[in-house]
Amino acid sequence: MSQTTKTTTLLVIGGGPGGYVAAIRAGQLGVPTILVEGDRLGGTCLNIGCIPSKALIHAAEEFDKARHYAGQSALGISVSAPAIDIGRTVAWKDGIVGKLTGGVGALLKKNGVQVVHGWASLLDGKTVEVESADGSRQRIQCEHLLLAAGSEPTPLPSVPFGGMVVSSTEALSPADIPKKLVVVGGGYIGLELGTVYRKLGAEVAVVEAQDRILPTYDAELTKPVAAALARLGVELHLGRKVLGLNGAGTAVRIQDASGAETALPADRVLIAVGRRPRTQGWGLENLQLDRKGNALRIDDQCRTSMRDVWAIGDIAGEPMLAHRAMAQGEMVAELVAGKRRHFQPAAIPAVCFTDPEVVVAGLSPAEAEAAGLDCLAASFPFAANGRAMTLESTDGFVRVVARRDNHLIVGWQAVGRGVSELSTAFGQSLEMGATLEDVAGTIHAHPTLGEAVQEAALKALGHALHI
């Protein structure tokens, strides 16, 4: 096979949110850049993660709403028996993905980034070999190597992928809706997709090893989610260990703390026990970079232990969030271009798109206490918010955490319908060093869910107006 050699200043491995943003920014700054992507531009997030899952969440919500209106509705709306064509739903979802990934390609081209489609193997910190789909190989040499290879679903040895056992990737492009779905993992991926399938008509059981759902979030935030799952009819099996499938392959065997075993009937099993950095199979071991667990160890400029080798996004560990990768990618491009930057965000918001949604930014009350801060916390319930009433969704609350001495806000949490959109206000207030008085004294539009942000700050100051 023929082999050619290219040279560039910046070589980016991986075209997900971190990699493509880094390449676009580098292109804007005039840095010669090559981006290598083995599959599709946009990475997990655009193709098989954030974007398609939100599309299916929306479709499932609309279908569930239609079925709700087939019964009795206080709004006076009635419909005859609704149906869903899952093939058309998936095609619609794929259309959104196609528009976004096409847009990424156009932006890279516009900014002079050369995209090489193929699978990269690292030879050393300056040299990569890329094999294209047609079997041809080429070498690329660079001054700066940016590793943005992302993550992959963590397998469960007792229930290997294949056949009826799927990851989130397959779950996002179903050919049909199973009658009985067992979801292994009660984190955000398992609950988001479990809720989708339940709303689309499947019987859903969720198995979680911890004693509550969303174990990385504090318990107060998860209570409204657990209550909503119960109303939907999602079965929760908490504090359970998965042993494997039964002999016939028709059920998932689970075990409680006492050792008692039960079997959950299933015609599809979704394994959603987390994601792990993609570090295997592409020569990363040749660089012998320092690790932090399974992830690459980086400093506050995303530098690895090898000079001019950088790492961003999921391959650099938690938090595995697309917007973190994007911000890191932008910074690395600017550093390569000679600018001075450090990655020191005041907070990185995280959103769980369950029903209701959960958003956190900064420190929770327990985290503030663990950090040795003397803080006060105050919550404002959506039950006292007029906009929430008009949306028929009054579950949940907004909570603020602030230092007792100077009222500096150190954290926000919220659970409720549409609270993902409050993450912007949370992030801005933390980044700008806002105090309780700053937020309480800002006039918020009425009627909006965002008023609960102001009311939480007012409550922390001792004079909430609407409770």
Tell me which residues are annotated as active site. 446
Counting every residue, how long is the chain?
467
To the question of whether residue 321 is assigned a binding role by annotation, the answer is yes
Q: Is 190 annotated as a binding residue?
A: yes
Annotated binding residue 461: no
283 labelled as ligand-binding?
A: no
Q: 188 a known binding residue? A: yes
Residue indicated by tokens 């579950």: 395
Spatial CA neighbour of 326 closest among 114, 25, 10, 9: 25
Structure tokens at 307: 């000079």
**In 3D, which of 257, 280, 254 has the Cα closest to residue 265?**
254
For residue 381, give the amino acid letter. P
H or E element at residue 8: strand 3-13
Q: Is 362 annotated as ligand-binding?
A: no
Q: Is 185 annotated as a binding residue?
A: yes
Helices 188-199 and 50-69 pack at an angle, to 10 degrees, of 40
Rounded to 5 degrees, φ, ψ at 178 are -65, 155
30 annotated as a binding-site residue: no
Is 189 marked within a binding site?
yes
Task: Count the alpha carbons within 13 Å of 282 in the hemisphere toward its beta carbon.
Answer: 23
The residue type found at 117 is: H
The annotation status of 411 as a binding-site residue, yes or no, is: no
N-terminal to C-terminal alpha carbon distance within the chain:
74
For residue 323, say whether it is annotated as part of any ligand binding site. yes
CA neighbours within 13 Å on the CB side: how many for 135?
Answer: 2
Strand partners, 77: none
Tokens of 42: 């946009």
3-state SS, 255-316, equals: ECCCCCEEEEECCEEEECCCEEECCCCCCHHHHCCCEECCEECCCCCCECCCCCEEECHHHH
Tokens at residue 194, please? 């479990």
Strand 33-37 to strand 151-153: parallel, antiparallel, or no bridges (unpaired)? unpaired
Beta strands at 180-184 and 275-277: parallel, antiparallel or unpaired: unpaired
Residue 99 counted as an annotated binding residue: no
Is 86:177 a contact under the CB 8 Å cutoff? yes
> What is the radius of gyration, based on Cα positions, of the chain?
24
Q: And the tokens for 141?
A: 């040499």
Q: Please provide residue 177's backbone torsions phi and psi, each rounded to the nearest 5 degrees.
A: -100, 120
Give the separation between CA 337 and CA 325, rounded to whole angstroms.
18
Contact 395, 416 (CB under 8 A): yes
Q: With the C-alpha atoms ordered 440, 443, 449, 450, is the resulting torsion angle positive or negative?
A: negative
Residues annotated in a binding site: 54, 185-192, 208, 274, 314, 320-323
Residues annotated in a binding site for NAD(+): 185-192, 208, 274
Residues annotated in a binding site for FAD: 54, 314, 320-323
